[in-house]
Amino acid sequence: MMTTGMIRIMRTIGILCAVLFLFRANADAAQESTLQPPVFAGQWPYHSSKAIAMDTSRGLVFLGNGDRMDILDMDLHHLASMTVTQSGLISALFYAGSSHILYIACKNNGLWMVDTSDPEKPFKAGAYLPQASTTEVNGVFVEGNRAYLAGGVDGLFILNVSDTANPVFLSQSTLPGGFGISYAVDVAASGNFAYVADLYTGIHVVDVTDQSTPVYKKGIALAGAHDLALSGNYLYATLEGGGMAITDITTPTSPTVDSLFNADGTETAVRVAEDLAYIGYGPDGLRVVDITDPAKPVHNAAWTYTASGCTSIGLAADTQTLYMTNDQVGLQKLDISDKAAMRSVASYDMPAGAVAVDISGDYAVMVDDNAGTKPESEGLRILQISPFNEAIQLHLKGFCATPGKAGDVMISGDFAFVADGEAGLQIIDMTDKTAPVIAGSCDTPGFASGVYVSGNYAFVADGEMGLTVVDITNRTAPLKTASVKPPGVAIKVTVAGNYVFIAGGEAGLQIVDATSKTAPVIAGAVDTPGVASGVFVSGDMAFVADGEMGMAVVNIADKTAPVLIRSVDTPGFAGNVTVIGNYAYVADGGKGVSAINVTDPAQAALDANLSYSHAGFASDVSSGYTSSDEALFTFVADGQAGLIAINLVPKKTNTPVNPGGSSSGCFIQAAGR
């Protein structure tokens, strides 16, 4: 077993590697003028690939969320869950009511078929994995005994699924695209024709009379085509910022785009019932559009729901109830009987509420302080990190409930130390990542909101009671050795040498000399402009997350007389901060992660180009994580959005992906585009 000292050395080496990598990226960027903006790299548990399917006859809702499928009743009571894929993400669901089979598109893990005859005991009935390991199954549509798959750059796949245990491959068709670029993301079928949404090119019409030899017929140039819905003789398609297109497919070989409905926002999903189209707009919510005349869709401004976002949609049989997923709440049930006053009547709060994160090796450990009304679902979660090219896949390995309100976590060896609110310090044994358990605890006198481990001691930011020092030599019987109460409220804490640095809220940065673990003393302090909420120390500089005032830079060369040398405003509420290379990354509340260039700390400046925004509420940001191919990531505890992975130095890609298809085919240009 590694000692704490060895773990700290390895941790330091890992961070140094990340720092050197970012320095190198900075040097490269100096030659290329600027670094590339950071990009989304992964998420748990809320993925952009969330999906909904409905069994209206049995009153069931199927939810695809990351690598997991949940089954709920219509009131969103949980019935069952199952992990569907270990190496992919659920991108789409299709439910076949006659057989009770749920078809699950799992991106690079192919197609799964799950038997839901007993909704409380679903089981895997079959699967299809494309021959090419690079194929991504993004969408699925089933008609009769045929399954149609949207296969990314590999186009359209057709399977015979008469025997779900042994699906039979019938054909695969690459799709034409401008400059050889085509990427199939969704598919629908009716009669002898399949319609494929192509993110780059538009909508492809394919004659599938002979499924073993499909014939390409037409293309409709609708860039950004993403989500499809069939209703009667019309095909509805979201265009990811380009509107919602309504296409007349009465004659499939001569489709006609009747209209484009445009509104502010990025369209993510569309479903149709009677004479109404329900359109999701990501974080901007839901709009209802009257399509009585498909050539002239009409939106009443009051027919809008903006209390939360919308990434996918399911409609109940009575058309008075709508189910939608979003990054803020999870899954919601809306009463839509009055389109001008749509309201949420139930929600399914999946475990998230991420407030803090720490990284150790290939594992991320996050703590969750809010799982709705289920305290047994709050606590610590262990996620395995699996780099994939320039992205990250996160897989839940284990969970341990904590008795209090978990607010911070730090890993040391095989143990995680959790600041657990009114329950003090919890020490969790993670030797078995699938079954972490509380090994010991120490009830501190205050409200534990921050923790840092150094050697055999844990230093706890203990709210109004200041700093509590705990001897953790015996993990099963930790012992409080001292407390010291500087001014303010201790929110977060870090340690450098014999000194403890406390983010003290309104009292700014407080410095404690902890040379004596039984008698620590206040050494110095400096007031910061805002509410000191987090702190990171590097050399003679302390970087303080300063609430609404952004980030403060403090020279701590003289611990008895620290000096504020810079304050940098950020757009959100700075809750915590880490430094990687020449940049400080600030967890900036509802504004995501703000990047600040600290090459010269006295001239620190916000770099909006390297900042990152997301739909959650960023409260913590980890130190750097470098994958084997030298991609550099950070992880953000993003509130209800869960844990977010960000690629800090994405590579420039100037060469488009070549799907290997031909560029032939007849495309119809949509009017007004």
pLDDT tens track for 616-633:
789 999 988 887 767 789
d(CA 638, CA 573) in angstroms, rounded, equals: 13
3-state secondary structure of 21: helix
- Which has the minimum average pLDDT: 84-98, 173-187, 375-389, 414-428? 375-389
pLDDT digits (tens, 9 = 90+) for 131-166: 987 889 999 999 999 999 999 999 999 999 999 999
Residue carrying structure tokens 């109940």: 316
CA–CA distances in Å: residue 140 to residues 181, 197, 414, 426, 474 = 21, 11, 42, 45, 54
- Identify which of 169, 170, 230 has the alpha carbon closest to the alpha carbon of residue 203: 230
Report whether pLDDT(372) > 50. no
Which amino acid, one-letter code, is at 511? Answer: I
Tokens of residue 10, six digits = 């390895």
Please give the average per-residue pLDDT across 230-238, as a whole number: 97
According to CATH, what is the number of the domain 48-350?
A: 2.130.10.10
Q: Of residues 180 and 367, which shows the higher confidence score?
A: 367
3-state secondary structure of 375: helix
**pLDDT value for 331:** 87
Please give the average per-residue pLDDT across 116-137, as a whole number: 93
**pLDDT value for 430:** 98
pLDDT digits (tens, 9 = 90+) for 466-520: 999 999 999 999 999 999 999 999 999 999 999 999 999 999 999 999 999 999 9
The residue extents of the domains of the chain are: 4-40+403-647, 48-350
According to CATH, what is the number of the domain 4-40+403-647?
A: 2.120.10.30
Mean pLDDT estimate for the chain: 87
Please give the average per-residue pLDDT across 189-211, as a whole number: 96
Note the pTM of the prediction, 2 decimals. Answer: 0.67
d(CA 434, CA 398) in angstroms, rounded, equals: 4
Q: DSSP letter at 11?
A: H
Q: Of residues 320 and 388, which shows the higher confidence score?
A: 320
d(CA 126, CA 145) in angstroms, rounded, equals: 14
CA–CA distances in Å: residue 354 to residues 87, 343, 367, 450, 526 = 23, 26, 6, 14, 30
pLDDT digits (tens, 9 = 90+) for 601-617: 999 999 999 999 876 78
Q: Are 169 and 178 in contact (CB under 8 A)?
A: no
pLDDT digits (tens, 9 = 90+) for 248-304: 999 999 999 999 999 988 899 999 999 999 999 988 899 999 999 999 999 999 999
CA–CA distances in Å: residue 489 to residues 215, 505, 519 = 70, 6, 20
Share of the chain above pLDDT 90, in %: 72
d(CA 492, CA 542) in angstroms, rounded, equals: 13
Tokens of residue 547, six digits = 């609430």
Question: What is the pLDDT confidence band of residue 667, given thresholds at 50, 70 and 90?
Answer: very low
Residue 9 φ then ψ, to 5°: -65, -45
**pLDDT value for 669:** 34
Q: Are 589 and 579 in contact (CB under 8 A)?
A: no
**pLDDT value for 86:** 64
End-to-end CA distance of the chain: 63
Residues forming beta bridges with residue 429, ordered by sequence position: 415, 437
Q: Are 85 and 100 in contact (CB under 8 A)?
A: no
d(CA 100, CA 52) in angstroms, rounded, equals: 15
